[in-house]
Amino acid sequence: MTDHTTDWPDHLTGDARPLEVGILLFERHTALDLVGPYTAFALAGMKVHLVSETLDPVVSDDGGLAIVPTTTFDDCPRQLDILFVGGGLVDRVMLDPAAIAFLQDRGATASCITAVCNGTLVLAAAGLLDGYRAATHWASRKELAQLGVEVSTERVCIDRNRFSGGGVTAGIDFGLTVIAHTLGEKAAKFAQLVMEYDPEPPFNAGSPESAGPELVALRTRFMTGPDTALRNAVSRVLERRAASSSHPVPDANTGLAAGIVNT
C-alpha cells in the first residue's frame, strides 16, 4: 500500500494525485452506511466515485432517499485505491451478476478492499474475503461466517488490505481509520474535526449487550422478512459455490465458517 502521508494536504490543492475511491451503489442500501465514509473520504481530499450499473437514482432501504450515481460499472476507473461496499438489504445485490462481476474486476487490483455493516457479505459473495477476517453488523455475523469468513466483533477490523466496519454508524470510525492508514493521522483528524465527530450518545443501547434482550427481540421481530431473505441469499451463494469446482463450500460447523473472534 502506498504511503501518501507526506502528500497530504497537497492533493487538496491539486498538487498530488488524490486517492480514487469506488463506492458500490445498489437498490435498498442503508444510506448512513455509505454517507459516513463518503463524507470522511471527501473531506480528506479523496476522489469518490458512486458506482452503479446505470446512472439512474438508487433508492435506499427505507424507500425515501435516493442517491444519484456518478459513474457506471463500465466507466468507473479501472484502478481504484479503495473499493467500498456499504450494507442494507443486500440479498439481491449478493446475487446480482453485474455487481459481483464489477467487484471481482476492481477488487483484483484495488489497494484496499473495504465494507461496512453487512456490505461485507457482498464482498464475501464476490469471493473477496476468502481467507480474511472481517466485521459486520451484529445481526449478520452468523451469515458472514457461513460464507467462510472469520468473523470479528471489532467495530473496525483490519486484516492486511481488508478494512471492515460493524453496523451502520461504525462507518464513520471505519472511514477515519482507512484515511489514517492511507493518508496519515493528520488527514483523518482533519476530517474528524470538520465533521465535529465527537459522539456522546444519549442512550447506552448501541449493542445487543447494552440494549438488552427486550430490544433485541423487538429488532428480530421487526426484521423477520429481511433476515429470512438474507439467509436465503447466503444459501444460494453457497449453492453456486457448490456447483463450481474452483470455489469449495465452507463447512458451516468447522473451520473459519464457525469462527467468530474478537481481536
pLDDT at 221 over 90: yes
90-112 average pLDDT score: 98
First to last CA, the chain: 23
pLDDT in tens, 148-187: 999 999 999 999 999 999 999 999 999 999 999 999 999 9
Helix axes 224-242, 213-222, angle to 10 degrees: 70
- Band of residue 6 on the pLDDT scale cut at 50, 70, 90: low
Write down the pLDDT at residue 68: 97
Residue with cell 451469515: 143
Strands 71-72 and 66-67: unpaired
pLDDT at 147 over 80: yes
Sign of CA dihedral 209, 211, 213, 218: negative
Most distant CA pair in the chain, distance: 54
Cβ contact 187:179 at 8 Å: yes
Name the pTM for this structure. 0.89
pLDDT at 249 over 80: no
Write down the pLDDT at residue 12: 63
Q: How many CB atoms lie within 10 A of CB 71?
A: 15
Backbone conformation region of residue 134, classed left if phi is above 0, alpha if psi is from -120 to 50, else beta: beta
* Catalytic residue check, 157: no
Residue in 76, 112, 117, 157 annotated catalytic = 117
Distance of CA 125 to CAs 46, 92, 112, 199, Å? 27, 11, 17, 33
Q: At residue 180, what is the residue type?
A: A
What are the strands of the beta sheet with 20-24, ordered from one edge? Answer: 71-72, 47-52, 20-24, 82-85, 112-116, 162-165, 156-159
110-125 average pLDDT score: 98
pLDDT in tens, 8-29: 566 565 557 899 999 999 999 9
212-227 average pLDDT score: 96
198-211 average pLDDT score: 95
